[in-house]
Amino acid sequence: LILERMESTPGPENGARGFTVTEMATAGERLLRDIGLVDKFSRVVFILGHGSDSVNNPHKSAYDCGACGGSPGGPNGRAIAQMLNDLRVREVIAKNGIAIPPDTYFIGGYHNTCDDSVLLADVDRVPESHRTDLVKIQADFLEACNRNAHERSRRFMSAPLSLTTRDARNHVENRSEDLAQVRPELGHATNAL
C-alpha cells in the first residue's frame, strides 16, 4: 500500500496519488480526536473498517460503510493504521498535542458483519515485540466474533436456540453463502424502542 504522494498537486497519475505527510497527519489526528483517543494508548490499537460479504443479499451495499461511500471500510482502516505508524506523521501529531507512545502499534483491518469475522491487514509488518500481544488479541477477536454470532443466531428462525458459540458462527457463515438467504445480516438492529 503506497500512501505517500510525492507531487505537490494531487492527480490521477503515479506520483500524484495519495497524501503528503502533513495530510496524513491531519487525517490521523482528526480520527484520534473524533474518537477521543488522545492519551492512554494501548500497545496495539486496531482500526477496523466494516462491511458485509454475502452472496445473495440485494441490500448488500447498505451494510457497507456509509462514510466510505457505501463500500467496505477495510482499505480505510488499513490506510489510516499505516499512516499512524509513520514516525513523521506521529511527529506532526505530537506537535499538535497528541503524543503517541513509541511502543504503540496500529493495525488496520476489516470486520465482516455478515459472517462475524475480522481480517487484519499487514500482520507481517507487526514488530516482533508485539507478536505475543497479537496472537492473544486474535484469539480474543475470534471469541468475540463467535459470541456475537451466537447472540445474533437467537433471532434466526433457521437456528436452534441450543447452538454452541462455534456452531452459531458456522450458522452465520453459512447464511452469508446461502442463495436462499436474502437477508443474512439479520440481527444487527436490536433497538426495541
- pLDDT score for 61: 66
pLDDT digits (tens, 9 = 90+) for 112-147: 888 888 999 999 999 999 999 999 999 999 999 999
Query: For the chain, where are the E strands, in sequence order?
Result: 44-51, 105-112, 117-120
Average pLDDT, the chain: 88
Q: Sign of torsion, CA 64 67 73 75? A: positive
- What average pLDDT score do residues 170-190 get? 76
| pLDDT confidence bin for 191, thresholds 50/70/90 | very low
Single-letter code of the amino acid located at 174: N
Pick 173 or 13 by higher pLDDT. Answer: 173
Cell numbers found for residue 88:
513523521
**Residues in the chain, overall count:** 193
**Is the predicted pLDDT of residue 193 greater than 60, yes or no?**
no
Q: Which residues contact residue 50 at a Cβ distance below 8 angstroms, ignoring those fewer than 6 apart?
A: 64, 65, 72, 73, 110, 111, 112, 113
Mean pLDDT is lowest, of 24-28, 97-101, 111-115, 164-168, for 111-115
Give residue 155's pLDDT band: very low, low, confident or very high (50, 70, 90): confident
| Predicted pLDDT of residue 189 | 55
Rounded mean pLDDT of 150-164? 88
Q: Name the grid cell of 169.
A: 458462527
Are the C-beta atoms of residues 19 and 27 closer than 8 Å to each other? yes
pLDDT at 188: 57
Percent of the chain with pLDDT over 90: 55
Has residue 71 got a pLDDT over 80?
A: no
Q: Is the pLDDT of residue 76 over 60?
A: yes
Tell me the per-residue pLDDT of 78-94, one tens digit each, with 9 for 90 and over.
Answer: 999 999 999 999 999 99
Residue 58 has pLDDT above 80, yes or no: no
CB 7 within 8 A of CB 16: yes
